[in-house]
Chains A and B, each alone.
Chain A
């Protein structure tokens, strides 16, 4: 039988098999998600959070199954190993993903949150991009490679920092990290996560919509949240160096 000719029953059976067979999935994953939702403290937008968890897990599973080629940006997070075949063309800067190139002042004015930048002079000035407007916006900072921030694969970029309004669920993060290694770390006196290995990360937007955020550089990532904003730092640097850069981030020049 051809894939495009299966009936509902066969399609459902295939989905269930896919769910059980995927890395990171276990027999009690659904129960775990339910338990987490029931035991989590109430938040201002319980429905949105519930949907975020489900979409995050579901998107991860669907993508890992190869059933749907979607990626997701915003509140919650999933991660998966990337496709085995690397892109043959240089990635440099993907304007469609990063949004419009703007000045830092513009980004600070138009983003729906307080934009943070590193306070390390040796990094130089970032190339700033803004995607979206207001609460659902995403700000990306790109810095050129330096001696201790080697160029990310297929790019001249040594440091890539993305920030947007949203949260990370630690339990979900470790559960759906795919083949990547997730380690709890301390970032600027707060909780953070170091994700080693090639992976992709997706989010659900604060407005509940599903959007796309592919990992462009497929490298080690430091992830943390501050004041309702998720920050993601990608580089080929060591954990110590990444934490030092992250610790220098501030909201004003």
Chain B
């Protein structure tokens, strides 16, 4: 979901088509995906948590 929507920059409709899910499901799953990614980032070793732009 994250890869489709943000890395490949597909639209929500295209993401729904590619993943064969309802368009309305895309937003909710994206939200969950970002939350999970953020949680994963938080578990990275301390040296990854340097200042970023």
Enumerate chain A interface residues (CB-CB to B < 8 A).
1-4, 6, 8, 11-12, 14-16, 18-19, 25, 29-30, 33-34, 37, 46-47, 50-51, 53-55, 57-59, 61-62, 67-68
Q: How far, in whole Å, are A173 and B10 apart by their CA atoms in the complex?
A: 20
User: Which listed residue (B2, B8, B38) contacts A30, Cβ 8 A?
Assistant: B8
Question: Are B37 and A33 closer than 8 Å at their CB atoms?
Answer: no
Enumerate chain B interface residues (CB-CB to A < 8 A).
2-4, 6-10, 14, 17-20, 34, 37-38, 40-42, 44, 48-53
B43 smallest CB distance to A (angstroms):
9
**Which DSSP category, helix, strand, loop or mixed, fits chain B's interface?**
helix
Question: Are B8 and A29 closer than 8 Å at their CB atoms?
Answer: yes
Residue of A nearest to B3 (CB): A58
- Which of B7, B40, B42 has the most CB atoms of chain A within a 10 A radius of its CB? B7
Question: Are A4 and B8 closer than 8 Å at their CB atoms?
Answer: no
User: Which listed residue (B2, B14, B44, B48) contacts A58, Cβ 8 A?
Assistant: B2
Question: Are A46 and B37 closer than 8 Å at their CB atoms?
Answer: no
Question: Are A68 and B6 closer than 8 Å at their CB atoms?
Answer: no
User: Which listed residue (A6, A34, A46, A59) contacts B14, Cβ 8 A?
Assistant: A34
Question: Are B3 and A3 closer than 8 Å at their CB atoms?
Answer: no
User: Which listed residue (A37, A46, A57) contacts B3, Cβ 8 A?
Assistant: A57
User: Which listed residue (B17, B20, B52) contacts A2, Cβ 8 A?
Assistant: B52
Question: Are B10 and A34 closer than 8 Å at their CB atoms?
Answer: yes
Q: How far, in whole Å, are A11 and B48 apart by their CA atoms in the complex?
A: 15
Question: Are A12 and B6 closer than 8 Å at their CB atoms?
Answer: yes
Question: Are B19 and A51 closer than 8 Å at their CB atoms?
Answer: yes
- Which of B6, B19, B34 has the most CB atoms of chain A within a 10 A radius of its CB? B6
User: Which listed residue (A19, A50, A55) contacts B6, Cβ 8 A?
Assistant: A19
Closest 10 CB pairs of A and B: A58-B3, A30-B8, A19-B7, A15-B6, A47-B20, A61-B7, A4-B42, A30-B10, A3-B49, A30-B9
Q: How far, in whole Å, are A29 and B19 apart by their CA atoms in the complex?
A: 16
A58: chain B residues at CB < 8 Å are 2-4, 7-8
Question: Are B34 and A3 closer than 8 Å at their CB atoms?
Answer: no
B50: chain A residues at CB < 8 Å are 2-3
Question: Are B20 and A46 closer than 8 Å at their CB atoms?
Answer: yes
Q: How far, in whole Å, are A58 and B51 apart by their CA atoms in the complex?
A: 26
Residue of A nearest to B14 (CB): A34
Q: How far, in whole Å, are A4 and B10 apart by their CA atoms in the complex?
A: 26
Given contacts A33-B10, A54-B18, 17 further A-B contacts (CB under 8 A): A1-B51, A3-B41, A3-B44, A3-B52, A4-B41, A4-B49, A14-B52, A15-B7, A30-B4, A30-B14, A34-B10, A34-B14, A46-B20, A47-B19, A50-B20, A58-B3, A68-B37
